[in-house]
Structure 1
Amino acid sequence: MSAEKTLEILEQFDFESRTLSVPELAAKLQQPQSSVYRHMRVLKEKGYIIEYSPGLYSLGYIFLKLAKIVKMDIDLPVVSQEAMRELTRSTGETSILLVPSNLQAVCLAAVPSGHPIKVSSEQGNIVPIYGGASSKALLAYMGDQVVEELYLSGTVKKHTDQTILDLGDMLHHLEEIRQKGYSFSDSEIDYGVISYGMPIFDSDNKLVASLSVAGPKERMEKKEMNEIVHTIKIAVKKIENQL
């Protein structure tokens, strides 16, 4: 079929073969050069292929537009669902997906364990962005100016004895999170809850969300920290690969 052959031509372009000539395409596809050239002419007219240099072709800019449309239609909770379920199965604890929103955070999704805990980060809840591993994994990558604006706004308040109320202390703490690549919280918003979190970035390296694991202190203290962090990292990569 003509359409199938046209798609086969487009599929030959990848990161290693960003530019190709008609003879190269014909050899890859085991098709006559005359046939490949006919399909290339149509693709070029429609903007799917551009002549990068005389005799060499590359994918056209129309793919940037199509990629943008796909990204706009990505449903983050749906994309994250499988990775979150696996994270909860692996750790035995609740996994939480948070997004930033106007100096606060919103819980987009949560996958409870077989023994769920009562935490502020339940699906649909608006939670403070200055406390808890999920929130701090976001705040650490939002810039010092945002952090300063948050603390000057007067919205930071004490939830427990572990809530970080001083701006200087928070800035230092967030720098440590960036160096380690993950956040940790022990009873900062919810008493008796320990959590670990990591940021999620899209293909443009833009912060989009955070993923965390939370559980009761008595149970979390018995688990190996490095294993939990590694498991979260795997889940984050699975999600980022789809963004």
Structure 2
Amino acid sequence: MSAEKTLDILDQFDFETRALSVPELAERLQQPQSSVYRHMRVLKERGYIIEYSPGLYSLGYNFLKLARIVKMDIDLPVISQAAMRELTRSTGETSILLVPSNLQAVCLAAVPSGHPIKVSSEQGNIVPLYGGASSKALLAHMGDKIVEDLFKSGMVMKHTDYTIQDLDEMLKHLADIREKGYSFSVSEIDEGVISYGMPIFDSDRKLVASLSVAGPKERMEKNESQEIINEIQQAVEKIEKQL
């Protein structure tokens, strides 16, 4: 089929092989060069292939438009569900998906464990950006200016004795989170709750969300922290592959 041969040509391009000649394509596909030329001519006319240099072809800019359309249609809670369910199953605790919204955060999705706990980060809730592992995983990657604006806004309030209310302390704490690659909190917003969180980035390394695991202190302290961190990292990687 003509369409199948055209797709076979496009499939030859990847991150390692970004430019190919017609003879190279013909050899890879075991097709006559004349046949490859015909398909390449159509692809070039439609903007899906460009002549990178004389005799060498690469993917065209039309794919950028298509990629943007795909990204616009990505539903973050939907593509995260499988990874979140597996994270909750493997850790036995609640998994939480959070996104930044101005100087606050919004819980897009939560997968409760078999023994759910009462936390502020329930689906649809607006939560503070300055406390809890879910929020701090976001705030650590939003820039110092945002952190300073947050503290100047008067929005930072004491929820428990562990809530960080000093700007300099928070800036140092967020730098430590960036260095470690994950956030951790004990009773910062919800008394008696321990949580671990990590940021989620899209293919352009733009911050889009955070993923965390939260559970009661007495149960979480029985688990190996590095195992929980590894499980979150695996879930984040699965989600990022789809962004």
TM over 0.5: yes
1:60 Cα deviation from its structure 2 partner: 0.3
C-alpha separation between the residues in 2 aligned to 1:99 and 1:154? Answer: 21
| Number of the residue aligned with 1:22 | 22
Please state how far the C-alpha of 1:17 moved relative to its aligned partner: 1.2
Write the distance in 2 (CA, Å) between the matches of 1:64 and 1:238.
23
Residue deviations 1:109-137, cap 9 Å, x none? 00000000000000000000000000000
Cross-structure match for 2:53: 53
User: Match of 1:118?
Assistant: 118
User: Stretches of 4+ moved more than 4 A in 1?
Assistant: none
The one-letter amino acid of 1:71's match is K
Give 1:141 shift.
0.3
Question: Paired residue for 1:192?
Answer: 192
2:228 aligns with 228
Amino acid at match of 1:145: K
Supply the distance in 1 between the matched residues of 2:116 and 2:35 (Cα, whole angstroms).
61
Pairwise CA distance, 1:170: 0.5
Partner of 2:81: 81
Partners of 1:228 and 1:85 in 2: CA distance: 14
Structure-1 residue corresponding to 2:154: 154
Match of 2:6 in 1: 6
Distance 1:203 1:235 in 2: 16
Instruction: Give 1:104 shift.
Output: 0.2
In the alignment, which residue of structure 1 is the partner of 2:135? 135
How far has the Cα of 1:15 moved from its partner?
Answer: 1.2
1:16 Cα shift? 1.5
**d(CA) in 2 for partners of 1:165 and 1:181?**
22
Secondary structure (helix, strand or coil) at the match of 1:15 reads: coil
* 1:106 is aligned to 2:106: yes
How many residues end up aligned between the 2 structures?
A: 243
- Residues in 1 aligned to 2:143 and 2:18: alpha-carbon distance in whole angstroms: 36
Residue deviations 1:73-106 (CA, integer Å, cap 9, x gap): 1000011101000000000000000000010000
Identity, in percent, stands at 83
Which sections of structure 1, spanning at least 5 residues, go unmatched?
Answer: none
**Matched position secondary structure for 1:200:** strand
List gaps (5 residues or longer) in structure 2: none
In structure 2, what residue type is equivalent to 1:235?
Answer: A
Give, as a single letter, the amino acid of the residue that structure 1 aligns with 2:41: R
Equivalent residue for 2:173? 173
Amino acid at match of 1:24: E
Give the aligned CA root-mean-square deviation in angstroms: 0.5
